[in-house]
Amino acid sequence: MDYMYAPWRGEYINNKEKGCPFCNIVNNSSKDEEHHVLYRTKNCFLVMNKYPYNPGHLMVVPNLHKDSIEDLSSEVWLEMSTLVQKTVKLLKEKLGANGVNIGMNLGECAGASIAEHVHFHIVPRWRKDTNFITTIASTRVYSTDFEKLYIKLRDLFLHVE
């Protein structure tokens, strides 16, 4: 069996923060830069995933702490969906993504690591973003500096209507 060491994941696994991390973001808008929040609307926000699958992995999260989409109002659902749509457009047009994966993991058994607070994942993809190292060594290479990408995306979202 091959092992890939990712010590940065230890922070996530050993996180002793009490409560919901998304609610922490909702309740601390003065810390948006620290939390890597890119954009806020009335009912939701867009944040970079601190433990991304790919550079630019973002999440759209409702302000309300709900564990199922059927408990969200139509207004909140529409606002989230609209933000997903705007985000995909920006990732394609301004970041040059060739494709985008969008998904929700509803419930822990479906793969949600924060199952108590629903959220969309938006993962930009590029041609050949999976190469020999993934194929041969079962390892992914994150080719972009996280903080620099946050600043770039944050600045792009300043102009979103």
Q: Which residues are catalytic?
A: 119
- DSSP secondary structure letters along 128-142: T-S-HHHHHH-----
Scanning the structure block, which residue is given the tokens 């059927």?
A: 70
Quote the DSSP letter at residue 29: G
Q: CA–CA separation, 7 vs 142, rounded Å?
A: 14
Quote the DSSP letter at residue 112: -
Q: CA–CA separation, 146 vs 33, rounded Å?
A: 13
Return the H-helix or E-strand segment holding 155. Answer: helix 146-157
CB 120 within 8 Å of CB 50: no
CB 67 within 8 Å of CB 141: no
**CB atoms near residue 51 (< 10 Å):** 12
